[in-house]
Amino acid sequence: MTAAVPAPVTTRVRGRDGVEVAVHRWGGPGERPLVVLQHGFAADSVRNWGTSGIVAALLADGREVAAVDARGHGASDKPHDPERYGERTMAADLSEVADALDLDVFDVAGYSMGGIVALVLAGTDQRVRRLVVGGIGAGVVERGGLDTRAVRTTALAAALETDDPDSIADPMAAAFRTFADSTGADRLALAAHVRAVNADPLPLEEIAAPTLVVAGETDPLAARPQVLADAISGARLVMVPGDHLGAVWAPEFAAALVGFLGDDGGS
């Protein structure tokens, strides 16, 4: 059972191309920087960070929190054009959020798709003080982001676009379709992002912020996470119980994230 959190204050921030994203805020300014949270694919801020207990754990640690619904998700705009998507575009949205909140420095945590977005952000925005990424592994280094050996983008996009879920043969694509349906997601917006996922090398060598990689022990989308940790200077790896959907709910995940983002940097 997770701790209840108060209703957030929600605002909207316009991206560079006019697409608006929803920003949910909890807590108030303190001695440490605000924490920006970016959720995973087909989820939203509340499902990824609120009900899992992460927001409550950060608030209990005295942190101010801003969770952003990525474009195509949650309360944000949901265009159906792949040109409006991709992790680099989502990272630019987070920089716009930081500008709108007048942040000189901030911490970032991202999960799955949000972890890839957070890596791009940390490699391009020097305001990032500390970084935590979860739900990703060697695929980020070897495939530029989503591990297409575990989930094929063509199969996933088709699974999201079809009107007949019984026709989906790919098990991983079927699982994502079921999850998207369970959250009431805009499937065509999600498919547009899938068709734009990053496949180019990420700026991992440009990340100067101390970084923590957190991976579920049975998460197929975070396979060989040490490869990712080794690609980022000084990064640490913590393994927690759970698969891709369950790891973020593990108490060990929240403890690792909050500890690393604390004053001592998790040392």
Q: Which pLDDT does position 267 carry in this prediction?
A: 39
Which candidate, 139, 180, 182, places its Cα nearest to that of 157? 180
User: Per-residue confidence at 4, pLDDT binned at 50, 70, 90?
Assistant: confident
Residue 148 has pLDDT above 80, yes or no: yes
Which tokens is 1 given?
A: 């059972």
> Is 179 strand, coil or helix?
helix
Bin 193: left if φ > 0, else alpha if -120 < ψ < 50, else beta: alpha
The pLDDT mean for the chain works out to 95
**Positive or negative: CA dihedral 47, 49, 52, 56:** negative
- The arithmetic mean of pLDDT across residues 26-44, rounded, is 96
CA distance linking residue 96 with residue 91, whole number of Å: 9
Q: Which pLDDT does position 265 carry in this prediction?
A: 44
Contacts of 20 (CB under 8 A, 6+ apart): 12, 13, 14, 76, 77
H or E stretch covering 159: helix 153-161
Q: Which of 4-18, 73-87, 251-265 has the lowest mean pLDDT?
A: 251-265
Contacts of 23 (CB under 8 A, 6+ apart): 10, 11, 12, 13, 66, 67, 68, 69, 97, 100, 101
- The arithmetic mean of pLDDT across residues 170-186, rounded, is 94
The order of strands in the sheet holding 128-134 is 9-14, 20-26, 65-69, 35-38, 106-111, 128-134, 211-216, 236-240
> What are 52-111's pLDDT values in tens digits?
999 999 999 999 999 999 999 999 999 999 999 999 999 999 999 999 999 999 999 999
Q: Which pLDDT does position 69 carry in this prediction?
A: 98
Written out in words, the top-level CATH class of the domain with range 9-261 is alpha beta
- The arithmetic mean of pLDDT across residues 36-48, rounded, is 96
Residue for token pair 């393994």: 239
Q: Which pLDDT does position 2 carry in this prediction?
A: 55
- With a pLDDT cut of 90, the percent of the chain lying above it is 93
Domains of the chain, by residue range, sit at 9-261
